[in-house]
Amino acid sequence: MISIAYAQEVAATGATTVARTGGLMDYYVLPILIFVFLWFVMIRPQIKRTKEHKQLMESLQKGDEVVTQGGLAGRVSKLGESYVALEVFSGAEILVQRSAIVLALPKGTLKSVS
């Protein structure tokens, strides 16, 4: 068994202290790793989605079948600078903002709109 006097002697001499190395590296590694993780998990996918949506907005043409954020599906009948007229059923058109269009459907998906 270790005697109590011996344990107190070791603590008093400071023999258990460990030299710390690294300096500023300890402060910068963790934030850099967190930023890299967030870049690949959150920021990069959002940039990709933004580019895809911008490409969709630029490629809209008359006759394209689209879906809006609210879930309305229709065929593009008129294109404006910031608004699009959608024909939701035969003879009925609604006006929506270009940014509200979230999905372009394949041709022939909306057969009831003529």
Q: What are the pLDDT digits (tens) for 7-65? A: 555 545 555 555 555 667 778 888 899 999 999 999 999 999 999 999 999 999 999 99
Same domain, 69 and 104: yes
Same domain, 33 and 78: no
Looking at the 3D structure of the chain, how many domains does it have? 2
Q: The whole model's pTM is what?
A: 0.64
d(CA 87, CA 78): 9
Q: Does residue 15 belong to any structural domain of this protein?
A: no
d(CA 96, CA 44): 29
Domain hosting 77: range is: 61-114
Q: Does residue 42 belong to any structural domain of this protein?
A: yes
Same domain, 67 and 107: yes
d(CA 66, CA 103): 6
Terminal-to-terminal C-alpha distance of the chain:
94
Q: Does residue 53 belong to any structural domain of this protein?
A: yes
Q: Which of 27, 105, 28, 13 is nearest to 63 (CA)?
A: 105
